[in-house]
Amino acid sequence: MTATASAGPLLAVRGVKTYYGNIIALKGVDIDVRQGEIVTLIGANGAGKSTLMMTIFGNPRAREGAITFAGQDITNLPTHEIARLSIAQSPEGRRIFGRMTVYENLQMGAGVTGMRHFGEDIEKIFTLFPRLRERRDQRGGTLSGGEQQMLAIGRALMSRPRLLLLDEPSLGLAPIIVRGIFEAIRRLNREEGLTVFLVEQNAFHALKLAHRGYVMVNGVVTLSGSGRDLLANPQVRAAYLEGGHH
């Protein structure tokens, strides 16, 4: 990992406004993700969390504001070029290549870095998610939801990213699987120093995992703070945590 990012945040979102046609989805969002952090963005359905995630990747494009990654303005870069700047994404809905095998899916993830570290990296993924090793020659579409999520994260990691964007990794998964996946994210952060930006509806788990968190309501960030503070915040508790832990 390079140490250049100490100068500023690795990812900086400044006053970003995004529209779907004429409908505004993000009404000026500011978010920082610093090197080595896990940052989470929580919020209800339709708050604009996934829109922000997609805006960072340039689709839809931010109509106002700026997004910088490691000091470089990426607001108007094409999606695939953003991906080549070692930002990896595990998109919403996982988007596994269904007819390709697990192994091929992982190979697709290594497209950015080429095949130089391929063997080494894939061993690392298989160590992180041993289930993927068992399923390596199985078609992606035949995996269970949890395995698909592991594959989506593994595929994203194959590009040796500096920043990993995760969009709702817990969506539709059993609690025990969610715990496993969040544990893997924590390990990646601790042992590899991987910076993670996590969009989640599952506020409890996300805030427990993250160093810092943002709360988004109707396209605006209304609250921010350390994961622990937000977990204790009465507003957050009332809006997102009541009714038990998911």
Partner 1 sequence: MQAETARMSVPAAIKDALLAALVMLGLSVPMLAWRTEQNMSNELILVPRWGAVAIACAIVFAGRLALSLFVWNRRAGARSVRVTRLLSIAGRAALAAAGALAFIACALVAWSLGHQASWIAIAAMAMVVAFLALLATFIVKASIGFEAARAYLAPAFLGFIAIFPIVAIHYAGWQGALKWIDNFGIQILIYVTLGWGLNIVVGLAGLLDLGYVAFYAVGAYSYALLAKQFGLSFWLLMPLAAILAAFWGILLGFPVLRLRGDYLAIVTLAFGEIIRLVLINWVDFSNGYAGISGIPRPSFFGIPFNADDDGFSAVFGLEFSPVYRTIFLYYLIFCLALLIAFVTTRLRRLPIGRAWEALREDEIACRALGINTVNTKLTAFAIGAGFGGLAGSFFAARQGFISPESFVFMESAMILAIVVLGGMGSLIGCAMAAILMIGGTELMRELDFLKTGFNIPGLGLSIPGFGADFDPTQYRMLLFGLAMVLIMIWKPRGLISTREPSIFYREKKAVSGSLVKEGHG
Chain residues that interact with partner 1, rule: CB under 8 A: 57, 59, 78-81, 83-84, 88-89, 91, 95-101, 103-104, 107-109, 111-112, 119-120, 122-124, 126-127, 130, 133, 136-137, 139, 155-156, 159, 191
Q: Nearest distance from residue 31's CB to partner 1, in Å?
A: 19
Would you say 26 or 122 has its CB closer to partner 1?
122
List the one residue out of 183, 129, 191 whose CA is nearest residue 156: 129
Half-sphere exposure of 208 (CA within 13 A, CB side): 12
Would you say 120 or 242 has its CB closer to partner 1?
120
Q: Nearest distance from residue 10's CB to partner 1, in Å?
A: 18
Would you say 90 or 233 has its CB closer to partner 1?
90
- CA atoms of 43 and 230, how far apart (whole Å): 12
Q: Nearest distance from residue 204's CB to partner 1, in Å?
A: 27
- CA atoms of 15 and 29, how far apart (whole Å): 5
- CA atoms of 80 and 83, how far apart (whole Å): 5
Q: Nearest distance from residue 111's CB to partner 1, in Å?
A: 6
Would you say 114 or 243 has its CB closer to partner 1?
114
Give me the sign of the Cα torsion angle 182, 183, 188, 190: positive
User: What is the CA 243 to chain-centroid distance, rounded?
Assistant: 26
